[in-house]
Amino acid sequence: MREGLSVGEAQDRILEATPRLGDETIPAFEAAGRVLAEPIDSTRRHPPADSSAMDGYALRREDVSKASAESPVSLPVVFEVPAGGHGVRPLAPGEAARIFTGAPLPEGADAVVRQEDTRAGKGRVEIRVTPSPGEHVRRAGEDFQAGDRLIEAGVVLGPAHLGVLASIGRSMVAVHQQPSVALLSSGDELVEPDRPVDGGRIVSSNSYTLAAQCREIGARPIYLGIAPDEPRSIEKRLRAGLRADVIVSSAGVSVGDHDHVRGVLERIGCRLRFWGVRMKPGYPLAFGVIEATGTLVFGLPGNPVSAAVTFEEFVRPALRKMMGHRSLFRPVVRARLAESLHKKAGRLHFVRVRLESRDGEVWARATGNQSSGVLTSLIRGEGLAIFPAESETLVAGSEVHVQILDMGFFDRADRGF
Amino acid sequence: MREGLSVGEAQDRILEATPRLGDETIPAFEAAGRVLAEPIDSTRRHPPADSSAMDGYALRREDVSKASAESPVSLPVVFEVPAGGHGVRPLAPGEAARIFTGAPLPEGADAVVRQEDTRAGKGRVEIRVTPSPGEHVRRAGEDFQAGDRLIEAGVVLGPAHLGVLASIGRSMVAVHQQPSVALLSSGDELVEPDRPVDGGRIVSSNSYTLAAQCREIGARPIYLGIAPDEPRSIEKRLRAGLRADVIVSSAGVSVGDHDHVRGVLERIGCRLRFWGVRMKPGYPLAFGVIEATGTLVFGLPGNPVSAAVTFEEFVRPALRKMMGHRSLFRPVVRARLAESLHKKAGRLHFVRVRLESRDGEVWARATGNQSSGVLTSLIRGEGLAIFPAESETLVAGSEVHVQILDMGFFDRADRGF
């Protein structure tokens, strides 16, 4: 066990110890946002036959090779192709057939002239353009052939993927499982939000934030409640979390005499891998693994902001790795600092910032009080500016990297084009 | 009713006709991602009392005004402050009290010296630094006071907001309702994914894509199934969607003789506002409003890509407006074109592109076949490049605006700092 790792070292050690979870097979209809655990190959071709891309007339191109608006060519309309194309006879030279988008091309036809380029008469149609070969025809298998690899394993399934799965008749797909995360708060002063807060009690808000952080990425929170600062009680509640993939406790891993969680963790078979990360907010971060089960254990600081930020930096990438994601980290944008920042060298600071776009540049401004107890500073900003460990000053106007926590930052109030 | 609007005109007309839905009150625990419909004011202050930000010792600063590592000051530790702070007596001059993070400061104390800057002895503690006034003390109400506006109406609730709601004991919040969206496909050739596709039949994949597009933003899809190209059947199914907030039909609004949906819509009381948008994919887009109920009706083209893209451009912003969002549109990034693009002037083209970051710039490359039937071209790209209506050529290397459809584009495989 080492103390005081850098943020990067801590992330590396956590991810080394983090397994990718196994697969489960679920209805494709419910698979949006999940990471595909198998490649998808087509069992059929699409479109199944040459078909029309427009509403218009199927014909033989040679019959209208000199047609134009000035000298249209008139053809008899000998039948209409039904949508499914059943029972259609081949098209003979000099004939046209009425056809609609998606209907299969009759044998013999090699082009479609769209309705707008024709004039319909009684049983006949005037063709007013010369189509190019195969114009407005979708070729059989143009989209994909039987056996084609359609989707690679590891892809995050979006709406279009579900459409593709439907189009080849796949109703069930294998995806990576989503981790369960047991959440425990500890502290004698903590109460649930529906309880009175007299006598110095404060609401245990961490679990509400952490549960939402889990849900946001598809992990399943299991809230173990609040344990008083008493080893047996903490141990009992933690044991209720042993079947989860991840245990996250907040508070109780500080250096204080009251911090029993660390000892308790050892008693339930958790081997601590490190304790303490050189960052602010959030120094006292503990990470371990329950040896018998492989359950990851994170001991987060009790301060609301420290808990939320350490979850972001350490727990979230691990959960994303478990569920098969390749991109484990938040987006990072470059921004200019609206004001200078100062600190001592030694710890990387994650500074809560509000972002504003001005003249094509993004400007970052710290959200006032950066004390780790100030939960409201997290809701006032969109991101965390990276103030590197060894820096002491970032001057106003200089460039910083900002992790984007609120993806709404990217959305637009105007259409942007 | 006008035909052939520009994309922007069509979006404006749709949004003008789109109401913001009313409120509903739901458990705060389930409110992540919802748009707050009421401002949240605090009913209490936080922290409730002056409290310690660290594990250490509470003391009177004047007693240790010359303490340093070289000449530490020894004080008696007269009690330990319990986490809730109950029954603690005031601190007399010359005394120190053991204190832990979050515990209330005893009366008389005006600073906390953290454990790391002390050396504990038997019943006494050596103080090795001089704290500044209020050092490591969180002031009562430092985060917020009773009556403070904590969250404005219109905010999209994230994990930190749920923590703030918990911390003031709010368990229920008013948010904007989420729209229900009735989805109908029509076409004789269409079958559900679990049916055989012989005889020119193709799977109706649109509803699967559209349902996922609805769910992605929190709208509730109601799938009305597939209607054959027969007016009475279409009308019957559409009537099943009349209690939804939005009806989305795909196919059936083209110029073809088989396109009954348009007539049917008029029979069920839908006043068409426009038909046709000068864009590709997706020209035949119809939009109307059921006069009796205010239900919005979108008639999307039947081609899978046209349906998905017109949903993106027209239905999605309307649904976001209904649920109270202020940012209705997708993120847009600037990218350089990897290859030249050509088209005729007149319609805005949305070109499916794959994006790649190279030397700090984003490059966009069209995903091969842009035929609107090619659903797989949508899953191969992250965005839609905007090829303006009046442009005929975009040369390789020039800049385009790209709408980001796959937010995973922003995520990082490395930590980015």
Q: Is the dihedral of CA B377, B381, B387, B389 positive or negative?
A: positive
User: Where residue A255 falls among pLDDT bands split at 50, 70, 90?
Assistant: very low
A contacts of B150 (beta carbons < 8 Å) = 376, 379
Q: Are B115 and B55 contacting, i.e. CB atoms less than 8 angstroms apart?
A: yes
What tens digit of pLDDT does each residue of A188-244 get?
A: 888 898 888 876 788 888 999 999 999 999 999 999 999 988 888 889 999 999 999
* Same structural domain, A303 and A352: no
Q: Give the domain extent around B35.
A: 24-41+153-175
Q: Which whole-number Å values give the CA distances from B11 to A162, B386, B393, in the listed order?
A: 26, 15, 25
Stretch among A132-141, B175-184, B287-296, B370-379 having the lowest mean pLDDT: B370-379
Query: Residue B3 has what pLDDT?
Result: 58
Strands A172-176 and B23-27: unpaired
Residues A309 and A187 in one domain: yes
State the Cα–Cα distance between residues A80 and A55, nearest whole angstrom: 11
Nearest to B324 by CA among B9, B97, B18, B21: B21
Q: Is the confidence at residue A258, as pLDDT, over 80?
A: no
Which residues of B are less than 8 Å from A201 in CB distance? 48, 84
Residue among B293, B286, B245 at smallest CA distance from B264: B286
Task: Give how many domains chain B has, as a whole number.
Answer: 4
Q: How far is B43 from B342, CA to CA, in rounded Å? A: 61
- Cross-chain CB nearest to B412 (options A82, A156, A332): A332
Same domain, B313 and B337: no
Is A415 within the bounds of a domain? no
pLDDT of A302 above 60 = yes
Q: What is the CATH number of the domain that holds B31?
A: 3.90.105.10
Rounded Cα gap, residues A292 and A38, in angstroms: 29
Same domain, B157 and B29: yes
Domain assignment present for B212: yes
Say whether both A240 and A378 belong to one domain: no
Both A162 and A28 in one domain: the answer is yes
What DSSP line would sit under A137-201, residue for residue? EEPTTSSB-TT-EEE-TTPBP-HHHHHHHHHTT--EEEEE---EEEEEEE-TTEE-TTS---TT-
pLDDT category at A284 given cuts 50, 70, 90 is confident
Phi, then psi, of B253 in degrees rounded to 5: -120, 20
**pLDDT tens figures, B347-386:** 999 999 999 988 889 999 999 877 777 778 888 889 999 9
Task: Please report whether residue A265 resides in a domain.
Answer: yes
| Stronger pLDDT, A371 or A104, i.e. the higher one | A104
User: Among residues A113, A138, A163, which one ends one of the domains?
Assistant: A138
Q: Which amino acid is at B362?
A: V
- Confidence bin at A20 (pLDDT 50/70/90): very high
Q: If you search the block for the tokens 């409120």, which residue do you land on? A: B23
Give how far B48 is from chain A: nearest CA, Å: 6
Secondary structure element (H or E) that encloses residue A277, with its range: strand A270-277
> CA B402, CA B351: separation in Å to the nearest integer?
9
pLDDT the model gives residue A259: 57
- Per-residue pLDDT, averaged over A149-174, amounts to 95
Mean pLDDT of A301-310: 90
DSSP state of A301: -
pLDDT at A252: 54
- Answer yes or no: are the C-beta atoms of B113 and B129 closer than 8 Å: yes
Residues of A in contact with B204 (CB under 8 A): 166
Mean pLDDT, residues B202-231:
92
B158 and A405 within 8 Å at the Cβ level: the answer is yes
Which residue of A136, A162, A173, A226 to mutate against B (max B Cβ within 10 Å)? A162
Decide: A327 and A302 in contact? Cβ < 8 Å.
no
- More confident of the two residues B380 and A384: A384
CATH number at residue A127: 2.170.190.11
Q: Which residues of B touch A304 (CB under 8 A)?
A: 163, 167
User: Which of A163, A406, A414 lies at the smallest CB-CB distance from B209?
Assistant: A163
The bridge status of strand B246-250 relative to strand B149-151 is unpaired
Q: What percent of chain B has pLDDT over 70?
A: 97
Q: How far away is chain B from the Cα of A85, in angstroms, using its nearest Cα?
A: 6
What local confidence, expressed as pLDDT, does residue A159 receive?
96
User: Does A159 sit within 8 Å of B213, measured CB to CB?
Assistant: yes
Does residue A120 sit in the same domain as residue A151?
no
A382 and A340 co-located in one domain:
yes
A206-216 and B159-167 helices, crossing angle to 10°: 160
Residues A267 and A193 in one domain: yes
Contacts of A410 in chain B (CB under 8 A): 331, 404, 407, 410
Taking CA atoms, what residue in B is nearest to A168? B193
**pLDDT value at residue B317:** 98
Closest CA–CA distance from residue B169 to any residue of chain A (Å): 4
**Higher-pLDDT residue of A315, A285:** A315
How many residue contacts between A and B have a Cβ separation below 8 Å?
354
B229 or A64, which is more confident: A64
Mean pLDDT value across residues A412-417? 86
The answer to whether A396 and A339 have CB atoms below 8 angstroms apart is yes
User: Is the Cβ pair A417, B332 closer than 8 Å?
Assistant: yes
* Of residues B203 and B336, more confidently modeled: B336
Which pLDDT score, from 0 to 100, does residue B252 have? Answer: 54
**C-alpha to C-alpha distance for B391 and B408, rounded to whole angstroms:** 30
Backbone phi, psi, residue B414, to 5°: -110, 175
**Cα-based distances in Å from B274 to A189, A206, B124:** 62, 50, 83
| Contact flag A143-B302 (C-beta cutoff 8 Å) | no
- Alpha-carbon gap: A260 to the closest alpha carbon of chain B (Å): 13
| CB-based burial label for B4 (10 Å; 0-12, 13-18, 19+) | middle
Q: Tell whether omega for the bond before B47 is within 30 degrees of 0, i.e. cis.
A: yes
Tokens, residue B411: 């995520």
Q: Are residues A294 and A384 in the same domain?
A: no
Q: Is residue A195 part of a domain?
A: yes
Placement of tokens 């972002």 in the chain: A355
Which CA distances in Å does B354 have to A415, B261, B406?
A: 20, 35, 10
First to last CA, chain B: 54
Relative orientation angle of helices B206-216 and A159-167, to the nearest 10 degrees: 160
Question: Does A416 fall in a domain?
Answer: no
Chain B residues close to A188, C-beta within 8 Å: 82-84
The shortest C-alpha distance from B187 to chain A (Å) reads: 7
ipTM of the complex: 0.90
Contact call for residues A321 and A16 (beta carbons, < 8 A)? no
Q: What's the whole-number average pLDDT of chain B?
A: 91
Q: Are residues A62 and A115 in the same domain?
A: yes
The half-sphere exposure of A80 on its side-chain side, counting CA atoms within 13 A, is 10
Q: Do B100 and A254 touch (CB under 8 A)?
A: yes
What pLDDT, on the 0 to 100 scale, is given for residue A253?
45
Answer yes or no: do A131 and A168 share one domain. no
What pLDDT, on a 0 to 100 scale, did the predictor assign at position A270?
94
Whether pLDDT at B254 is above 70: no
Residue A327 inside a domain? The answer is no
CB contact under 8 A, B212 and A326: no
Read off the pLDDT of residues A106-146 as tens digits, 9 standing for 90 and up. Answer: 999 999 999 999 999 899 999 999 999 999 998 888 889 99
Q: Which of B168, B302, B412 sits opposite A102 (nearest CB)?
A: B302
Q: What is the pLDDT of residue B354?
A: 95
Q: Which of B202, B206, B211 sits opposite A48 (nearest CB)?
A: B202
Instruction: Of A132, A211, A259, give the one whose Cα is nearest residue B100.
Output: A259
Task: Name the domain boundary from B280, B296, B322.
Answer: B322
**Within 10 Å of residue B223's Cβ, how many Cβ atoms?**
18
Is the pLDDT reported for residue A22 higher than 60?
yes
Phi-psi sector, A8: left (phi>0), alpha (psi -120 to 50), beta: alpha
* CB-CB neighbours of B121 under 10 Å: 11
**Closest chain B C-alpha to A267 CA, distance in angstroms:** 24
Q: How confident is the model at residue A260 (pLDDT cuts 50, 70, 90)?
A: low
Last residue of a domain, one of B298, B322, B346: B322
Determine which of A43, A101, A378 to mutate to test the interface with B (most B C-beta atoms within 10 Å): A101
Q: Residue written as tokens 């490190």? A: A274
Give me the pLDDT at residue B259, please: 57
- pLDDT bucket at B255, cuts 50 / 70 / 90: very low
Structure tokens at A58: 């199927």
Residues 6+ apart with CB under 8 A from A115: A54, A55, A56, A57, B255, B256
Contacting residues of B for A100, CB less than 8 Å apart: 254, 256-258
Closest-CA distance, A292 to chain B, in angstroms, reads: 30
Q: Binning pLDDT at 50, 70 and 90, where does residue A410 land?
A: very high
Query: Which one has a higher pLDDT value, B409 or A197?
Result: B409
Nearest-5° Cα angle at A168, A166 to A173: 65
The verdict on residue A313 lying in a domain is yes
| Residue A416 to residue B329, Cβ atoms within 8 A | yes
Nearest residue of chain B to residue A411 (CA atoms): B331
Average pLDDT over every residue of A358-385: 86
CB A168 to CB B203 under 8 A? Answer: yes
Interface test with A, best of B26, B100, B171 (most A CBs within 10 A): B100
Average pLDDT for residues B301-320, to the nearest whole number?
A: 94
Contact list, B375 vs chain A (CB under 8 Å): 46, 143, 160, 163-164, 167
**From B198, which residue of chain A is nearest by alpha-carbon distance?**
A48
Whether residue B18 lies inside any domain: the answer is yes
Smallest CA–CA distance, residue B205 to chain A, in Å, is 5
Q: What's the CATH code of the domain at A366?
A: 2.40.340.10
Which pLDDT score, from 0 to 100, does residue A210 have? 96
Contact flag A212-B49 (C-beta cutoff 8 Å): no
Nearest to A188 among B84, B162, B213 (CB): B84
How far off is chain A from B160, nearest CA to CA, in Å? 5
**What CATH number is associated with residue A310?**
3.40.980.10
